Structures are given as structure tokens and as C-alpha cells.
Amino acid sequence: MKLCLVAGSGELPKVFLEKAKDKNVDIFVVGVKGITDLPADEYIPLGKVGRLIKTLEKKSINKIVLLGKFEHSLLFSHLLTLDEVALKILQRAKDKKPHTLVKTLIEELEALGFEFPDPSPFLEDLLAPAGKISSFEPSKEAMEDGLWGFPIAKEIASLDIGQTIVVKDKAVVSVEAMEGTQKAIERAGEIAGKGCRVIKTARKSQDFRIDVPTVGPKTLEVIKKIKGDALFLEAGKVYLLEREKMCRLSEKYGIALYGL
């Protein structure tokens, strides 16, 4: 089997690439200029969907996996660089939510004969488990905040606003939107000070081909920066990168890492 990996930023595309190669899957990596972190076989500017199609047709590849972070705000800063195919997708989309845009892209390319397999079978061991993930457990107050905020975070994720909320003392301090997870956490620290708790969930009907929530060491670093004390993840629905390092940082910083 031959796949094209269209890679955004972050570690998740790298992990997928390693695991796919371990299973002898032939991967052609397409990077996006200025966004993709890993070395790619070909780089394409953001918004040049027509060029992606021509490249894959030339390589006789019809299976595509989309992984990594593409900040939603990039859409508005690159409107003038979108090609004809990208503009058609934008016009077809019923709104400009991240899930809608990617779903419309998939539908447009599927109509041309491309397939989008679910990458989760390669990444199942990355999914956050239920219960404590490191040896540092949440305090009673932190756990109460996590359980209180979890259904709220789930609703917000399902509305495709953002996958992360920050809570403190049973109040929502900040909600992730276009600015991304780290800035949402930093904003919470500015508003509420120390003792914030971060909750990340998937949509209620999460399509594992589209924008699966992911955390890594950088998430804990920014929680430490605001003196937060817990990171709650939806078990079985959030990818946890570099788990051993995450556990070490959790214990070092006194930040509970827990799957709900």
C-alpha cells in the first residue's frame, strides 16, 4: 500500500511516519511550506490544492492521510493565495469551522477518486488511557474541576469551537478558539492566576481522519508557565505524544496528568 501523508506541524506526523514504515507502508510525504516540521518529499504552498492533486496523480497515489496542526487562523491570512480548487472548497463549505473545511476538502477529493483511510490503527497506542497517567495524582479540588468541566469541554469541542477549555473553582476561565491551545492556556493564567486546570476532549462524533486532539510536552510546559496543576484528557480520544517524557514532566512540575 502506498499513502500520501499531508503533514502539518507538530510531532504527530513524525510518529505516524515511523509507525507506518515499521509496517512496510510506502509513504510519500507532502509538506506545507512554512508549516511542516518533518522532512518532506515535496513541499506545496498552503492553499494550492490543485497542485497537490496533480502531484499525487503523477505519482499514482490515491490514498491520503492528513495529520498535524494547521492553525485555523491561517485561512484568513492566506485567502489571496488560495488556488481555484481551494476557493471552490471554501465556497462549498456551509461555514468556516475547521471540521467543515476539512470535511469539504475530503468530499471534493473523494469525488475525484482519492481515498482518506483512518490513520488511528497506526496510532492506537498513543491514545490517553483512563485514570492517572503519571504517578502525580490530581488534588480533590482539581478532580472536582475536571469532572465539572469535562461535559462543558465536550460540548464546545462538538460545536467545533475548540478542543480545550481552562477552568478554576468550577468556572470556565478560557476557551480555545482560533488562537490555539497554548495561547488559550496563557490567557487563562493572565485572567485567573495559579491553580487553573486544563481539559482537552474530542468531538462527540470524532472522525479520526480529521483534527484529532493531541497533547505533548509543550502543553505541560505552558501549564507550568501559568502555575496550573492539572491536565485532563478524554480517554481513548486524545493522542498523547512522548508519554514517558510527559510523565516525567508531570511529576517534576506537580501537574496531574489524568484521563477522564
Question: What is each CA distance from 220 to 54, 170, 235, 242, in whole angstroms?
Answer: 40, 21, 17, 12
Q: How buried is residue 155: exposed, middle or buried, by Cβ count under 10 Å (0-12/13-18/19+)?
A: middle
- What is the grid cell recorded at 48? 494550492
Tens digit of each residue's pLDDT (9 = 90 or more) over 107-153: 999 999 999 999 999 999 999 999 999 999 999 999 999 999 999 99
48-59, pLDDT tens digit by residue? Answer: 999 999 999 999
Name the fold adopted by 2-122. Answer: Rossmann fold (3.40.50)
Distance in angstroms (rounded) separating the CA atoms of residues 31 and 186: 29
211: left (phi over 0), alpha (psi -120 to 50) or beta: left
Task: Report which of 76, 1, 78, 63 is spatially closest to residue 32, judged by C-alpha positions.
Answer: 78
Q: Where are the domains of the chain?
A: 2-122, 127-259
**Cα distance between residue 3 and residue 13, in whole Å:** 13
Q: What is the pLDDT along the chain (260 residues), one digit of tens a residue?
A: 799 999 988 899 999 999 999 999 999 999 988 889 889 999 998 889 999 999 999 999 999 999 998 876 666 656 667 889 888 888 898 988 888 888 999 999 999 999 999 999 999 999 999 999 999 999 999 999 999 999 999 999 999 999 999 999 999 999 999 888 999 999 999 999 999 999 999 999 899 998 899 999 999 999 999 999 999 999 999 999 999 999 999 999 999 999 99
Summarize pLDDT for 160-171 with one digit per residue, the tens: 999 999 999 999
127-259: which CATH topology?
Cytidine Deaminase; domain 2 (3.40.140)
Strand, helix or coil at 150? helix
Extract the C-alpha cell encoding 50.
490543485
Rounded to two decimals, the pTM is 0.90
Backbone φ and ψ for 177, nearest 5 degrees, come out as -130, -130
